[in-house]
Amino acid sequence: MKPIFVAAALALALSSCSPTPSQTVQPDANDLELEVQGMSFVGPDTIRSGWTTIRVVNTGGMTHHALVYRLPDGVTGEMVDEQVVRPIQRSLTAAIAGDTEKAAQIAATMPEWVGDLTWLGGPGMMSDGVTGEATMYLEPGNYLVECYVKTNGVQHNFNPEPGEFGMVFPLTVLAEEGGMAEPDANVTLTITNSGYEISDGAFVTGDNSVRVRFEEQQLYNNFVGHDAHVFRIEEDTDVEAAARWPDFFPIDGQQTPAPTKFVGGIHDMPQGATGYFKLMLQPGNYGITAEIPDAKEKGFFKRFNVEGG
């Protein structure tokens, strides 16, 4: 059960008097804003717990995303970099060279604690010029914000300099509660093992707040689960290519440039969780797809239209 931080009685009391040094006004937002600079996320590295908005301003010239996940006790960002990111890059390099046996051998060296990483949302695929924003309930702890899109066969989270991070951003969620209320939404997207359902509301021109209910969840390739990434469909868009592009595992998966404009979304969260993401939509046609193998064939592609305002 998620706690409620702002009681009606407290709100009424605070509205009737000015705060004194012994009183604090609960904020109406608990935001962390990161900028993409080169192959790095730049911004504050701490945020209060509770409902938390992660906003990523992408002016980095290519498509990125920002998976947020909690680290198990005793695991650090350096350990993720050395024991996960770098071996996956070596495996990818071997696969591109055609040595699938070597690629499989390297991929099999993942540490046992990888299974204890907890995916907790974060802004989905966003093309250059798009600001991605997702809101999730985050418990205190140590987290990473990560982008592993590929360019020329190299993951964005990989930095060839020993001891240096690529797009791997350590984040501390403090025990202090942020006091942010659960967001409102004008559309609800429900995710089950069968795919997507717009179960309430509708997408509109302009600002959209999307509630995502992860009613069912499962892992694919022992790594990724159901999520939602929204892209624009133009007359010349290869919808099949766009729908399968977020699947990381093929050599050309998540390889820039993306085949269409991605406008936001949210990464996978545990079964039973609820997250939110923001979209700014122009009139036109859009698709929602997932970062899983054969997303469209599994029911994880949904087309929708936004009428002119």
Range of the domain at 102: 31-177
pLDDT reported for residue 144: 98
Please indicate, yes or no, if residue 6 is contained in any of the structural domains: no
Q: Are residues 238 and 171 in the same domain?
A: no
Q: Per residue in 29-40, pLDDT tens?
A: 999 999 999 999
Q: Per residue in 133-152, pLDDT tens?
A: 999 999 999 999 999 999 99
Please indicate, yes or no, if residue 52 is contained in any of the structural domains: yes
Please indicate, yes or no, if residue 3 is contained in any of the structural domains: no
Q: Are residues 130 and 252 in the same domain?
A: no
pLDDT reported for residue 15: 31
Q: Are residues 167 and 197 in the same domain?
A: no
Instruction: Tell whether the model's pLDDT for residue 13 goes beyond 60.
Output: no
pLDDT reported for residue 28: 73
Please indicate, yes or no, if residue 296 is contained in any of the structural domains: yes
Domain count, the chain: 2
Q: Are residues 169 and 213 in the same domain?
A: no
Q: Per residue in 289-302, pLDDT tens?
A: 999 999 999 999 99
Q: Are residues 37 and 158 in the same domain?
A: yes
Please indicate, yes or no, if residue 10 is contained in any of the structural domains: no
Comparing 70 with 27, which gets the higher pLDDT? 70
pLDDT reported for residue 22: 37
Query: pTM of the predicted model, to two decimals?
Result: 0.89
pLDDT reported for residue 27: 53
Q: Are residues 215 and 145 in the same domain?
A: no
Please indicate, yes or no, if residue 56 is contained in any of the structural domains: yes
Q: Are residues 153 and 229 in the same domain?
A: no
78 is written with which tokens? 């350096």
Helix axes 86-96, 100-107, angle to 10 degrees: 170
d(CA 143, CA 148): 16
Report the CATH number that the domain containing residue 283 is assigned in CATH.
2.60.40.420
Please indicate, yes or no, if residue 166 is contained in any of the structural domains: yes
Instruction: Tell whether the model's pLDDT for residue 21 goes beyond 90.
Output: no
- Residue showing tokens 């859009």: 286
Domain boundary among 158, 177, 196: 177
Please indicate, yes or no, if residue 196 is contained in any of the structural domains: yes
Domain boundary among 154, 177, 200: 177
Instruction: Tell whether the model's pLDDT for residue 12 goes beyond 60.
Output: no
Q: Are residues 218 and 261 in the same domain?
A: yes
Q: Are residues 134 and 161 in the same domain?
A: yes
CA distances (Å), origin 188, targets 193, 214, 274: 17, 11, 10
Domain boundary among 152, 177, 202: 177
pLDDT reported for residue 44: 98
Q: Are residues 126 and 213 in the same domain?
A: no
Q: Per residue in 234-270, pLDDT tens?
A: 999 999 999 999 999 999 999 999 999 999 999 999 9
pLDDT reported for residue 202: 97
What is the average pLDDT score of the chain? 91
Q: Are residues 161 and 197 in the same domain?
A: no
Comparing 14 with 196, which gets the higher pLDDT? 196
Q: Are residues 169 and 220 in the same domain?
A: no
